[in-house]
């Protein structure tokens, strides 16, 4: 009997130890599963469909709730709850930096929060080509940067603001030199303009200023004349000659009578044939109406066109006219009679093409 009781006690102890081992084993499995789950939530991929592309824009002044809204609405993350928990633990809500961020597919919550918390945004390349109006410039900037369009437009119309750069509301675009500029997306309007204007200042070396003085022009006047030349032709070899024609006219006190200025004053840049309707526009920008140079540029000329004005050769040409052969070349003339012959030939071509 006693022997039977001992055997039963041993069996109970063995079963208890076996049950304890099973409980411990299952506990470890559960802990491991939870650990793996948590690791996956932290380091596993959590990027979504990214419906708005791979770039996340965080506006200046955004708080954590706004960031989460942008992430959710843009489809940047799949599990917002796990992101929220980890972001709180990483104290991200107190380290929000505006800007443009590149979100890659497969990024984890850890990767995403580390990126956003560091403020390592990517720069934006702003390519400025030929612009004709201030509104063109405002649209270009506001389409690529956070800079407020209303503020930028107000700055370009504020004489007091522009005067610190030696500019006014007419010459503001003189400072916009076509080039490729690099900005952070959240750069404000003032900093955008200042950086572009600095590039313009660097362009005007002492040598170029001396060249302008030889031509009897200030740097601003050179840019205004270059803007007309830019609109007249894209042929680099002809730009100095066309600039020379206008310089000769200025020296003789003749009106420039530049077709692009009439087009600019009329407000329609698609006009192919300038008529009395356009040349008769009463505007200081219409050089058929007003003597001398316009009060400001009619476009933002390239650096090479500005240089073409500075390098204008000394000629006797007072006139030029498109050749009409479709080459984009111009015919230059010293006398008005010769010019009329060239102009008649050009207008015959326009008539044959039905251009009115």
- Rounded Cα gap, residues 281 and 290, in angstroms: 10
The predicted-structure confidence for 43-77, as pLDDT tens digits, reads as follows: 457 777 777 789 999 999 999 999 999 999 999 99
Neighbours of 130 (CB within 10 A): 16
Residues β-bridged to residue 345: none
Question: What 3-state class would DSSP assign to 63?
Answer: coil
Q: What percent of the chain has pLDDT over 90?
A: 74
For residue 351, CA distances in Å to 64, 273, 345 come to: 65, 10, 10
The predicted-structure confidence for 280-327, as pLDDT tens digits, reads as follows: 999 999 999 999 999 999 999 999 999 999 999 999 999 999 887 767
- Rounded Cα gap, residues 189 and 182, in angstroms: 14
More confident residue, 172 or 325: 172
Residue 90 has pLDDT above 90, yes or no: yes
Residue 3 has pLDDT above 50, yes or no: yes
Positive or negative torsion for Cα 294, 298, 303, 304: negative
- pLDDT for residue 35: 40
What are the E-state strand segments in the chain? 55-58, 99-102, 123-128, 179-184, 319-322, 330-333
Confidence of residue 38 (pLDDT cuts 50, 70, 90): very low
Q: Quote the mean pLDDT of the chain.
A: 88
pTM of the model as a whole = 0.84
Answer yes or no: are the C-beta atoms of 269 and 132 closer than 8 Å. Answer: yes
Lowest pLDDT segment from 46-50, 171-175, 188-192: 46-50
């Amino acid at each position: 009997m006693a022997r039977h009781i001992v055997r039963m006690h041993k069996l109970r102890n063995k079963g208890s130890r076996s049950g304890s081992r099973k409980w411990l084993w299952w506990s470890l499995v559960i802990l491991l599963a939870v650990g793996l789950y948590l690791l996956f939530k932290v380091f596993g991929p959590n990027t979504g469909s990214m419906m708005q592309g791979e770039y996340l824009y965080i506006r200046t002044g955004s708080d954590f709730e706004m960031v989460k809204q942008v992430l959710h609405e843009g489809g940047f993350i799949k599990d917002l709850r796990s992101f929220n928990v980890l972001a709180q633990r990483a104290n991200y809500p107190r380290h929000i930096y505006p800007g443009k961020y590149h979100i890659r597919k497969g990024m984890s919550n850890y990767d995403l929060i580390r990126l956003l918390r560091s403020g390592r945004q990517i720069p934006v390349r702003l390519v400025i080509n030929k612009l004709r109006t201030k509104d063109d410039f405002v649209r270009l900037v506001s389409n690529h940067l956070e800079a407020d369009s209303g503020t930028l437009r107000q700055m370009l119309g504020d004489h007091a603001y522009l005067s610190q750069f030696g500019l006014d509301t007419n010459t503001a675009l003189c400072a916009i030199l076509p080039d490729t500029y690099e900005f952070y997306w959240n750069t404000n309007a003032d900093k955008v303009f200042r950086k572009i204007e600095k590039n313009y200042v660097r362009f005007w070396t002492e040598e170029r200023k001396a060249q302008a003085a030889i031509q009897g022009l200030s740097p601003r006047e050179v840019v205004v004349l270059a803007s007309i030349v830019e609109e007249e032709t894209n042929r680099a070899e002809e730009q100095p000659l066309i600039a020379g024609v206008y310089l000769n006219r200025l020296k003789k006190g003749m009106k420039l009578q530049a077709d692009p200025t009439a087009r600019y004053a009329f407000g329609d840049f698609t006009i192919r044939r300038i008529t009395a309707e356009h040349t008769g526009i009463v505007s200081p920008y219409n050089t058929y109406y007003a003597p001398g140079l316009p009060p400001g540029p009619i476009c933002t000329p390239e650096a090479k066109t500005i240089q073409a004005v500075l390098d204008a050769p000394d000629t006797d040409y007072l006139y030029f006219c498109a050749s009409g052969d479709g080459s984009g070349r111009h015919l230059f003339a010293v006398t008005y009679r010769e010019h009329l012959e060239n102009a008649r030939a050009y207008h015959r071509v326009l008539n044959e093409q039905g251009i009115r």
